[in-house]
Chain A
Amino acid sequence: MLARRIIACLDCMGEKVVKGVKFKSLKVLGDAVRLAKFYEKEKVDEIVMLDINASVEHRKPFYNAIEKVASSLRVPFTAGGGVRTFEDFKKMFLKGADKVSINTGAIENPEIIRVCSEKFGSQSVVVAIDVKKEDGSWKVYSHSGKKPAELDVIDWIKEVQNLGAGEILLTSIDRDGTKEGYDLDLLEEVKAISKIPVIASGGAGKLEHFYTAIKCGADAVLLASLLHEKIFRIVEIKNYLRERGINVRI
């Protein structure tokens, strides 16, 4: 059967990997090409590279940085940040992305999901969703968590599924960088209605957090600073999961 995936996320500004807490206070943690190659050796199952400020700065993604990472990688590679149009998607694939992640661009124009999944295949369209808990439900935010989208997460997931999204990258802004664990309540609610794979993101801090997220139905878990700051190694996470009966690629 399919292995559960451990995904390394490179939040980037150009070729520099950066990290913040609750989407703020960014610091530089390393070089994207070098880190991506290192994680591949460590048996990461997938790499996600996000140009985190492209939407905020109203500019196109740093394509050169994406191409550099893609040409050295031999595992599936998702790129995102600042993607709005069909042409942006096409360019990402030309630069070597296997999947393209879209967030703000999909909120502003949901139809782009349909157009791109019809042309490039559903499996290559990842919709990234950033949420904050407000009054007992989760609200969607755009522009790297800076702008409320006036959308409820459940409604939005149903919509993107119908439009042909292939995967959901679900980030809890409340938990991002806190190391308190993934938001399991959020994950459970989302899994109850999702027909496509869900990647859990935001909040991992202990080995058991990966296990509980997968037990709550996460098809993959995403982590960033825990790897960049060398708090965990991928093999350590995979061994922990395997010992608890989770099928992982070792």
Chain B
Amino acid sequence: MKTGILHCDTGNLFSIKSAIEEIGVKPIFLKSPVETFNYPLILPGVGNFAHVIREIRKRNLDEFIFEKIKKGIPLLGICVGMQILFEKSEEGNEAGLGVLKGIVQKIKADRLPHIGWNRIEILENSRILKGLKNRYFYFLHSYKCVPENNIKTSDVFYYERFAASVESENVYGVQFHPEKSGKEGILILKNFFKI
């Protein structure tokens, strides 16, 4: 099995790369569209919303993502990688990819970022959460996704309740970092590659 990690020079991809290698999947970094690439895609979660989306457009990876989603290729967005799937964010003036309906807003909290281990509450059966109960995952973010449709599969509470994961057909998103969440995080990645 291979996977494509969409690479936008936005930050450190060391952890996601070594986590994927650990489960026997070969990560390929995609810096530009590769039409013949039909393996699952990962949109990693490092950086600022506006910056990441600009880098994606600059490399024509937005069109590539739309096309692959339409073909039914599974895609997993992690942290900011999940946020840019939505229509827009309070973090900068760039429009998101709009693959998912809804917006990204700043968390209403006294202390940000929301950083550390927090427990998710599973709401819906989700393929990537299979085998997991309400476990702790590692979060590091200041903005939350507010989906318009009923696509939340789990919630987390930090000053307020918001989405910890979403699923809409072949598009998946997690607000936490599975690559930094111990064996439960690894299980999520394994589930994703089984889809």
Contacts of B186 in A (CB 8 A): 74
Partner of B15, one of A1, A40, A45, A98: A98
Partner of B115, one of A94, A123, A195, A249: A123
Cβ-defined contact, A2 with B118, below 8 A: yes
Cβ-defined contact, A70 with B181, below 8 A: no
Chain A count of residues within 8 A CB distance of the other chain: 22
Interface string of B126-138 (1 = CB under 8 A from A): 0000000000101
Contacts of B180 in A (CB 8 A): 74-76, 98
With an 8 A cutoff between CB atoms, is B183 at the interface?
yes
Interface string of A1-19 (1 = CB under 8 A from B): 1110100000000000000
Partner of A2, one of B12, B18, B117: B117
B168 to chain A minimum Cβ distance, whole angstroms, is 27
Majority secondary structure, A binding face:
loop
With an 8 A cutoff between CB atoms, is A96 at the interface?
yes
With an 8 A cutoff between CB atoms, is A138 at the interface?
no
With an 8 A cutoff between CB atoms, is B19 at the interface?
yes
Interchain CA distance A71-B20 in the complex, whole Å: 11
Cβ-defined contact, B116 with A3, below 8 A: yes
Partner of B185, one of A70, A74, A98, A195: A74
Cβ-defined contact, A74 with B179, below 8 A: yes
Given A43-B182, A74-B179, A74-B180, verify A2-B116 contact (CB < 8 Å): yes
Chain B count of residues within 8 A CB distance of the other chain: 26
Partner of A93, one of B12, B116, B118: B12
A93 to chain B minimum Cβ distance, whole angstroms, is 5
With an 8 A cutoff between CB atoms, is B140 at the interface?
yes
Residue of B nearest to A44 (CB): B182
Contacts of A94 in B (CB 8 A): 12, 14
Given A123-B113, A249-B117, verify A2-B158 contact (CB < 8 Å): yes
Q: In this complex, which of B15, B140, B157 has the most chain A Cβ atoms within 10 angstroms of its Cβ?
A: B15
Interface residues of A (CB under 8 A from B): 1-3, 5, 40, 43, 45, 70-72, 74-76, 93-96, 98, 123, 195, 197, 249
9 closest pairs, A vs B, by CB? A249-B136, A96-B14, A3-B117, A2-B116, A249-B117, A71-B18, A93-B12, A74-B182, A2-B118
- Besides the known contacts A45-B116, A96-B18, 9 further A-B residue pairs in the complex with CB atoms under 8 A apart: A1-B158, A40-B182, A71-B18, A74-B183, A74-B186, A75-B138, A75-B180, A96-B12, A123-B115
Interchain Cβ contacts under 8 Å between A and B, 24 examples: A1-B158, A2-B114, A2-B117, A3-B117, A5-B116, A40-B182, A45-B116, A70-B18, A74-B19, A74-B180, A74-B181, A74-B186, A75-B138, A75-B182, A93-B14, A94-B14, A96-B12, A96-B15, A96-B18, A98-B15, A98-B180, A249-B117, A249-B119, A249-B136
